[in-house]
């Protein structure tokens, strides 16, 4: 988002318009972020199920 804001500033877009545009972009990206988070959670849960803690014999 910072990069997009920088581009909009360089294009001369006023702050209020930038805020609206960045908000629209953030809303569009939310489903992608949720999907990415869900995949990470699934991945880590599957790893924890397949790896067993090492047991030390005394």
Give residue-wise pLDDT tens across range 8-55: 999 999 999 999 999 999 888 888 777 777 777 777 777 766 655 565
Contacts of 17 (CB under 8 A, 6+ apart): 8
Can you say how many angstroms the Cα of residue 7 is from the centroid of all Cα atoms in its chain? Answer: 20
CB 18 within 8 A of CB 8: yes
pLDDT value of residue 34: 74
pLDDT value of residue 55: 59
* pTM exceeding 0.85: no
Packing angle, helices 15-50 and 2-10, rounded to 10:
160
């Amino acid at each position: 988002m910072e990069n997009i804001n920088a581009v909009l500033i360089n294009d001369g877009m006023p702050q209020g318009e930038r805020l609206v545009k960045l908000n629209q972009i953030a809303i569009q990206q939310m489903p992608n972020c949720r999907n990415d988070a869900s995949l990470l959670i699934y991945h880590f849960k599957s790893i924890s199920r397949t790896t067993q803690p090492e047991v030390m014999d005394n």
